[in-house]
């Protein structure tokens, strides 16, 4: 099976854009998305999914994971365990691989 980039809807959600490549496949063991962050997102955590981010572009991009800052560059990988608070900032474009597949209902944003 081939999933072409131009076949996947690009969702512009303001502070970030996302393309969810595996969402329509149904029962898969993991999810793959392309995420582009243009300003710092709110800190949150995922209840179920282990998140893996392969950085493809970064302009002063960073991750905050449990309060620790990681400056990232193209080629870096960031892994966030379920239940760990994190956010992204700066300009970061990354492939996100989540296991199990990402479900927005599993994300918790603290006020």
User: How far apart (Å, rounded) are the C-alpha atoms in residues 17 and 34?
Assistant: 8
Write phi, then psi, for 50 (nearest 5 degrees).
Answer: -85, 125
Residue range 46-71, pLDDT digits in tens: 999 999 999 999 999 999 999 999 99
Position 111 confidence tier, pLDDT thresholds 50, 70, 90: low
| 52 CA to centre of own chain | 8
Residue range 13-52, pLDDT digits in tens: 888 888 888 766 667 778 899 999 988 888 999 999 999 9
For residue 111, give every residue at least 6 positions away whose Cβ sits within 8 Å of its Cβ, in sequence order, or none.
Answer: none
pLDDT score recorded for residue 24: 64
């Amino acid at each position: 099976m081939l999933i072409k980039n131009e076949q996947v809807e690009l969702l512009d959600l303001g502070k970030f854009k996302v393309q969810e490549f595996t969402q329509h496949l149904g029962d898969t063991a993991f999810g793959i998305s392309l995420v582009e962050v243009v300003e710092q997102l709110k800190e949150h955590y995922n209840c179920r999914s282990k998140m893996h981010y392969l950085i493809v572009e970064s302009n002063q991009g960073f991750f905050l994971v449990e309060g620790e800052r990681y400056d990232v560059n193209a080629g870096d990988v960031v892994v966030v365990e379920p239940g760990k608070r994190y956010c992204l900032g700066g300009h970061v474009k990354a492939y996100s691989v989540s296991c199990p597949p990402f479900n927005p209902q599993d994300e918790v944003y603290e006020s």
